[in-house]
Structure 1
Amino acid sequence: MSSTPSISSTTAWPDLATDTQFRADLAQLLLPYINTCRWFAGKARQQTGCSVQTVHTLPLPDDSVAYLLILEATYADGIPESYQLPLAFLPEDSPALEAVPDKGRIGTATLAGQPGTLIDAIYDERFRTALFTAIYANQTIAQPEGTLAFHRGKGLADGDASLPSQVLPVDSSNSAMTFGGKYFLKLYRKLFNETNPEVEMVAFLTDESEFAHIPAFGGSLVWQRPETDITLGMVQRMVPNDKDSWAQTGDYLNDFLYAVPQRLFAIREDVFDKVELLGRRTGEMHCALYKPDRPNEPANPAFAPEPFTNEYRDFLIRRFEDLLDRRYALLIDNYTRLDAQAQRLAWVFMEAKEMIDAFVDDFRTRPLDSLRIRIHGDYHLGQVLATESDFVLIDFEGEPESSISERKIKHSPLKDVAGMIRSYHYAVSAKLFNSAETEGIDPDHLQRVSDRWFYLIRDTFLDAYLDTFGAPHPLFKNNNEINFLLLIYLLEKAVYELGYEISYRPSWVKIPLKGIIDVVREIEKIRLSDGDLIPDVPMLQTGLLQGKPS
């Protein structure tokens, strides 16, 4: 690597943690390097610098050390970001250097006369072993700034202290290592001044419940400071699986798709079996997350159920009204880009604005006795792994575009249900409207066929889900509240989806629009059953769906 940047120091590698000049030189080396890394999210921003804020020292098995660097990236606009970079040094004659890929090589260095290469330490087997062993042993390592605390979870089996390891080749926003083909260690790269919601959720479900359908929590690495704890990594059990449930559902839909041109409606019985099973597993997950106070056993405050407070309602309404305004503007600006079917749906959606506003006002004041808990938060078919005969639920980090604090807000578990329902709607719509087998079939006919499949699957999932709770259950006061809350979350989800499709896949805009219209139809039923119709709020203009809007 003759073109690789290089630095030098008279200080030996094990003593560099306190060398301020080396830190400054290293920062200059790291800025171009992190811009080549998939996990660095600041590439598109105008960067003003990179500094090494904190250096943690991790002893290695051969009496050497690795460093966990906490970097701060600064920008011309906006707040700085923190990233984790593990750093190791390999002498130039080290055989281990041959196994380090180019993307793991940061630069060359001469330290106390010893030439070698600075690497991302995930590519150093000594570092991987040190991390895993520390978690297995529940170690605590004092640092100049706080403590590195390694926590072992129930999912890490006795006798697995030392296992062969490797780095997964997939580039993503975090780094992944496997141990003995049994465990998966995720090292978080972008850091937040809070404990990671995924670690909290997986640890709670593993250690505090009997819910077995997640990759079990094996442990975590946390930087503990007086002001806050920052999660650096997590270990989970690896799960053998064939595919995620989005792919599995696509396979099941192929049989349905091939029958459509023959005007046959066919759903295999095992499809319903799988949907029912996923409904039950989803319900079991939420039952496991429902942990109220019990005699002599106070609930964990982070997971204790809470009522629908005014503060929560205001938060949800503010977020939804802002989302709605932006989507209406986006839809108007892009209306002429839509096909005729999507235009009709868009017209009905825009004409229903007053009814949606009235529904949101109703949510603000309607008495609700159902409860809120911590939930998955980003639940869809892609977050469910299909094993040979069951399902495993994964990825509990929450909504990617939400802040860490927002991801920990308690919602009705029906928010997760709404996410899965929307995912099933996408599965059938994407398959029927974008397949060669259905080219030339009238779009309105395809819409009716996809609706029939979707409504059957939706009701199968929802019935199985609710059956797991029994009635009554404190999470859901009654069916009226279930229906009302589900519509709130379905509407929010479909309106959110609309923005992505307008911006990136205009031919798919009809999918979230149809989801919105389905919700508005149900809102209209609630208005009629409540019997308190507001005179100046018009009813749904479904007649517009039958012809081209003027």
Structure 2
Amino acid sequence: MSDNKPHINAIFKYGSAWEYIFENQRFINEFCSDVLEDYIVSQRWYGGKASALKYIDIESFFKIENENDLFYGVVLEVNFKEAFVQEYFLPIGLVKEKDYVDHNIIARINLNGEKGYLVDAILLESFRSQIFDKIVEGNKYKYNKVEFRRGRKCKASAYESSKFLSAEQSNTSIIFNDKYILKFFRRVYTDQNPDYEISKYLTNKGYFTNTPGYAGSITIKFSDKNIMTLALMQELIPNQGDAWEYFVQNIEKAYRKLTEKQYNVKSLNVLKKYNQIKVDDIDPKLLKWFDRDIFEDVEKLALRTAEMHITLGMERINASFTPTAYTYDYTVWLKNRLMYMLDNRINLLENNLHKLDGMMVEMANDLLDHKKKIKKRFLDFDESQLKSERIRVHGDYHLGQVLVQDRDFFIIDFEGEPESTIRDRKVKQPPLKDVAGMFRSFSYAVYATIFNNIDHYQHPVKDLFHSAEVVYSYMVGVFLNAYIEKVQNNNVNIGYLNEIEFLLEYCLLEKAIYELGYELNARPQWSIIPLKGIVNILKQNNDE
């Protein structure tokens, strides 16, 4: 934090001991208004930066202690001027002035004449070791029914070491004993987090092993139906990085080869839409520059995706996971959600046209010209025509949610779409929504390779786009061939071919529209990728 923040320079003085600090009403008032309002907005995990903060309340707090150390777990209720609320979890610790090293200071504090610093407790090894040992021991606390639970995959007996996983933004993850990873959910909800819920379910079912096993958790139980997940611990999967990096690196190698050898990409044909194909049947001309290994990896990823859905669709007792038919209520929920999202994206696109250039402007105008057609496509969803079933799904499935280990794939992070409410994330969806998410990620990987290296390629842009559509069509074909065979042989009801294609295209359009909002807000120059995806879907339908 910078020194121009008033709470950093100020020293807050109280005549209370640390163990009774939350019984001091003046501390609570000043902590919420004078300290947290400055502190929280600068944290990477804070998701309210685009909104106007109104005030902060402490919704709940509890002690985390052993014979040596006392910390507090604090659930914050952040109220916004736009009339909505978010909840965040912040564990805090007290570091005496003489023991201060280099921690992220929340505030300077003086308790009964002894100076110290309030800090995020996660930064303190004494806190991390205590948390881990409590999970291993499976201790339970009475206050607000805070529960430290040991999961089936936890084989540890005590704390040995800890280090941070630095890549995360919205959560904070810690690696323990080089064997487990504990994710603290910073944005929390008065409901079980889907990541916790699905991880525990998959581990207990035991069929799908290509995901980190559930090793423990921290929850608050306010009542039988109100449970807040604060942290999830899982097995640490040794890996060579995520599948996004892996696929992009291999696709870049192929495109360097394309340039070096000057292959004639115009001679390659794009596969018919959603045509299923085996790796052995791929056009040999394509394999001259695009390695067969990439398609074998796509096939393996398809099998792992199918196995995930098979496990998520096999439940017959737990109502949270039992397969469900399409209903009128689901259709109303879906259309309301998509109409709101589409209107939001259209307004966002119109307001950001000035940030776009070149072919992006043409594609954006094409989308705006066809917005009624897109709306009609979304409103044409008719549950009475669908014979397949909905299941719990990953919900935010893409290459970044997959770890690579020796050319095998492990699926992680079942939290769902960040924009969705916690309850919307738990709605059962067509498993093809995950498949569509992965297909959009394939498209991103290919087009990102082209756009990021456009000056290094000697082929005309038109030919590069054609090559991208060829590669994408084969990745989709190989994936679908392996996925459909696997799920249908294991009794996952995804419908017959016409229904599969309808749901897949519906979900692809939904996903591309969703992505457009993210890109326009975060990195406008990448908007060309979802715009290209939307235009391609519209063009394919015009060609039929």
- Scaled to the shorter chain, the TM-score interval is 0.7 to 0.9
Alignment of 1:77 with 2:82, yes or no, is yes
Map Cα deviations across residues 292-336 of structure 1 (whole Å, 9 max, x no partner).
32xxxxx21111111111111122222323434454555567678
Q: 2:162 aligns with which of 153, 162, 165?
A: 165
Which piece of structure 1 moves more, 410-419 or 107-116? 107-116
Residue in 2 that maps onto 1:187: 184
| Structure number, greater radius of gyration | 1
Check 1:471–1:207 CA distance in 2 against 1; reply closer, same or farther (3 A cut).
Answer: closer
Distance 2:361 2:37 in 1: 48
Q: Using the TM superposition, give the Cα deviation of residue 448 of structure 1 relative to its aligned residue in structure 2, in angstroms.
A: 1.4
Deviation at 1:343, TM superposition (A): 5.9
Tell which deviates more after alignment, 229-238 or 353-362: 353-362
Partner in structure 1 of residue 314 of structure 2: 291
1:31 maps to a residue whose letter is E
Q: Which residue of 2 aligns with 1:448?
A: 466
Q: CA deviation at 1:413?
A: 0.7
| 1:529 paired residue number | none
Partner of 1:255: 253
Q: 2:385 is paired with a residue of what secondary structure?
A: coil
What is the TM-score with the length of structure 2 in the denominator?
Answer: 0.86
Equivalent position of 1:201 in the other structure: 198
| Residues 190 and 509 (structure 1), Cα distance of their counterparts in 2 relative to 1, 3 Å cut | closer
2:271 alignment counterpart: none
Q: Is the 8 A contact 2:399 2:438 kept in 1?
A: yes
SS class of match (1:82): strand
Length-normalised TM-score, structure 1: 0.85
1:42 deviation in Å?
Answer: 3.4
Check 1:471–1:478 CA distance in 2 against 1; reply closer, same or farther (3 A cut).
Answer: farther
Distance 2:139 2:350 in 1: 58
State the Cα RMSD in Å: 2.8
Q: What does 1:244-283 align with in structure 2 at a 5 Å threshold?
A: 244-261=242-259, 262-264=262-264, 265=286, 266-283=289-306
Amino acid at match of 2:473: Y
Alignment of 1:34-73 (within 5 A): 34-62=40-68, 64-73=69-78
Identity of aligned residues (%): 33
Matches of 2:369 and 2:379 in 1, distance apart?
Answer: 17
Paired residues for 1:104-503 under 5 Å: 105-143=105-143, 146-157=144-155, 159-169=156-166, 172-226=169-223, 228-261=226-259, 262-264=262-264, 265=286, 266-293=289-316, 299-328=317-346, 341-342=359-360, 356=374, 359-364=377-382, 366-436=384-454, 439=457, 441-471=459-489, 473-501=491-519
Structure 2 CA distance for partners of 1:3 and 1:244, relative to 1, 3 Å: closer
Q: Secondary structure at the match of 2:82?
A: coil
**Are the equivalent residues in 1 in contact too, given 2:310–2:490 (CA < 8 A)?**
no
Inter-partner Cα distance in structure 2 for 1:161 and 1:10: 37
Matched, 1:511 2:529: yes
The CA distance in 2 between the partners of 1:357 and 1:425, in whole Å, is 23
Q: Name the CA distance, whole Å, in 2 between partners of 1:183 and 1:172.
A: 19
Indicate conservation of the 8 Å contact 1:65/1:88, yes or no.
yes
Rounded Cα–Cα distance in structure 1 between residues aligned with 2:27 and 2:239 = 46
SS in structure 2 of the partner of residue 78 of structure 1: coil
Contact 1:257/1:437 (<8 A) preserved: no
In the alignment, what sits opposite 1:296? none
SS at match of 2:290: coil
Say whether the 8 Å CA contact 1:307–1:371 is kept in structure 2: yes
Amino acid at match of 1:47: L
Gaps of 5+ in 1: 294-298, 525-539, 543-550
Distance of 1:337 and 1:88 partners within structure 2: 44
CA distance in 1 between counterparts of 2:151 and 2:353 reads: 52
Please give the alpha-carbon distance, in whole angstroms, between the structure 2 residues aligned to 1:482 and 1:443: 33
Q: Structure 1's 162 and 349: CA in aligned 2 closer, same or farther, altered over 3 A?
A: closer
Secondary structure of the residue aligned to 1:74 is strand
Aligned twin of 1:90:
95
Whole-angstrom CA distance in 2 between matches of 1:123 and 1:369: 52
- Contact 1:375–1:411 (CA<8 Å) still a contact in 2? yes
Pair 431,169 (structure 1): closer, same or farther in 2 beyond 3 Å: closer
How far the C-alpha of 1:355 sits from its partner, in A, is: 5.4
Aligned partners of 2:391 and 2:431 also within 8 Å: yes
Q: In structure 1, give the amino acid aligned to 2:182.
A: L
> Would you say the 8 A contact 1:412–1:475 is kept in 2?
no
Asked if 1:14 corresponds to 2:11, the answer is no
Shift of 1:358: 5.1
Letter in 1 for 2:176: F
In 1, distance between residues paired with 2:365 and 2:543?
9
* 2: CA distance, partners of 1:459 / 1:223: 45
**Residue 8 of structure 2 contacts residue 108 of structure 2 at CA under 8 Å; is this kept in 1?**
no
Change (3 A) 1:513 1:133: same
1:224-273 deviations in Å (ceiling 9; x for gaps): 11251111111112222212111111111123212333025422121111
